[in-house]
């Protein structure tokens, strides 16, 4: 397939692009620097200005949008929240607009989203049809998905990938490695909150699966089938690193340090199941966290 991708240099994109090329797909990266555009595998766009020539995507089979500032880089001030929103919505609206305007639009748009859509739901089992939750991340995910779904037409299907915590060498796992290696790791808060996760190999596998399965559209939970509470996640990471994982971080300390971000990312509970993927027969490459962590650290 011929594929246009945004966010190619990010945590997921840097793994996805070589995975797609390894199986024979041709990938063109959307770039913001004009000097990098115009090459065989680069095309210019300016999502902040809503600028993307529809000719760029003309004749391509798929568009994959992974654009968005990291949500885990610090306290969520008003300015940071606005940057999180604009980095996602500007890019998605720009892509969707170009797809709608194209004479020969792609057959599919695969757009990133997040399990933050569900909010803090305790032990409730959450599937793709579950209602939206409450809070900043839920509202952001809703608006992000709405922008992506505006590209849908008779010629273009749209799949939105609700990602759990991505287990890769960087990202959330990278931030956890130092304290755990020092023997200072452990559960956060009560440790009973569910942490939906997904190995980076399966993120790439799921996107490839969605490219190939024309019958799948709408929301898709990209989470591993193994449900883990925060305490079990911490024990698994400690076991892989051969370190204890018994130093709990009290909820009040996390809230004091990180504010609203801690409440939404670390203390919220989301028991998410990958129902759509299971129904369509996706075979997880790393169904256990132990294997996903070992694979990430060896990459």
One pLDDT digit (tens) per residue for the chain, 299 residues: 999 999 999 999 999 999 999 999 999 999 987 665 556 678 999 999 999 999 999 999 999 999 999 998 888 999 999 999 999 999 999 999 999 999 999 999 999 999 999 999 999 999 999 999 999 999 999 999 999 999 999 999 999 999 999 999 989 999 999 999 999 999 999 999 999 999 999 999 999 999 999 999 999 999 999 999 999 999 999 999 999 999 999 999 999 989 999 999 999 999 999 999 999 999 999 999 999 999 999 98
Residue 185 phi, psi (nearest 5): -85, 160
Nearest CA-CA partner of 276 in 227, 226, 217: 217
- Whether the CB-CB separation of 270 and 132 falls below 8 Å is answered with no
200/296 Cα distance (integer angstroms): 8
Residue 102 · residue 148 · CB < 8 Å: no
The H or E element spanning position 203 is helix 200-212
Residue 109 DSSP SS3:
strand
In whole angstroms, give the CA distance from residue 44 to residue 20: 21
Alpha-carbon distance of 141 to 103, in angstroms, equals 29
List the structure tokens of 23. Answer: 């199986």
How close are the terminal C-alpha atoms of the chain, in Å? 26
| Number of domains comprising the chain | 1
- What is the C-alpha to C-alpha distance for residues 137 and 131, in angstroms, rounded to an integer? 14
**In sequence order, what E strands does the chain have?**
2-6, 26-31, 42-44, 62-65, 108-114, 125-126, 157-163, 165-167, 197-199, 218-222, 271-272
Q: Are 58 and 100 in contact (CB under 8 A)?
A: no
Alpha-carbon distance of 47 to 49, in angstroms, equals 5
- The pTM of the full predicted model, rounded to 2 decimals, is 0.95
CATH value at residue 55: 3.40.50.720
Query: Residue 92 belongs to what domain range?
Result: 2-298
């Amino acid at each position: 397939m011929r594929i246009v991708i945004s966010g190619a240099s990010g945590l997921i994109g840097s793994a996805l692009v070589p995975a797609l090329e390894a199986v024979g797909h041709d990938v063109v990266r959307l770039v913001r620097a004009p000097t990098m555009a115009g090459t065989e595998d680069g095309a210019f766009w300016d999502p902040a200005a809503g600028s993307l020539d529809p000719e760029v995507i003309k004749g391509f089979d798929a568009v994959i949008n992974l654009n968005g500032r990291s949500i885990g880089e610090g306290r969520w001030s008003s300015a940071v929240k606005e940057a999180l929103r604009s980095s996602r919505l500007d890019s998605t609206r720009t892509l969707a607009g170009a797809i709608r305007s194209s004479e020969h639009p792609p057959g599919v748009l695969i757009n990133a989203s997040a399990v933050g859509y569900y909010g803090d739901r305790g032990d409730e089992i959450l599937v793709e049809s579950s209602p939206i939750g409450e809070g900043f991340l839920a509202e952001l995910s809703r608006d992000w998905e709405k922008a992506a779904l505006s590209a849908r037409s008779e010629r273009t299907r749209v799949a939105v990938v609700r990602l759990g915590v991505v287990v890769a060498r960087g990202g959330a796992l990278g931030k956890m490695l130092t304290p755990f290696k020092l023997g200072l790791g452990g559960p956060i808060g009560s440790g009973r909150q569910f942490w939906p996760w997904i190995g980076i190999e399966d993120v790439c596998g799921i996107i490839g699966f969605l490219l190939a399965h024309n019958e799948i559209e709408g929301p898709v939970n990209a989470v591993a089938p193994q449900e883990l509470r925060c305490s079990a996640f911490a024990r698994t990471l400690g076991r892989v690193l051969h370190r204890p994982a018994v130093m709990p971080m009290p909820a009040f300390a996390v809230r004091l340090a990180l504010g609203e971000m801690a409440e939404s990312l670390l203390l919220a509970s989301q028991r998410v199941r990958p129902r759509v993927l299971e129904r369509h027969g996706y075979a997880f490459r790393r169904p256990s966290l132990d294997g996903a962590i070992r694979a990430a650290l060896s990459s």
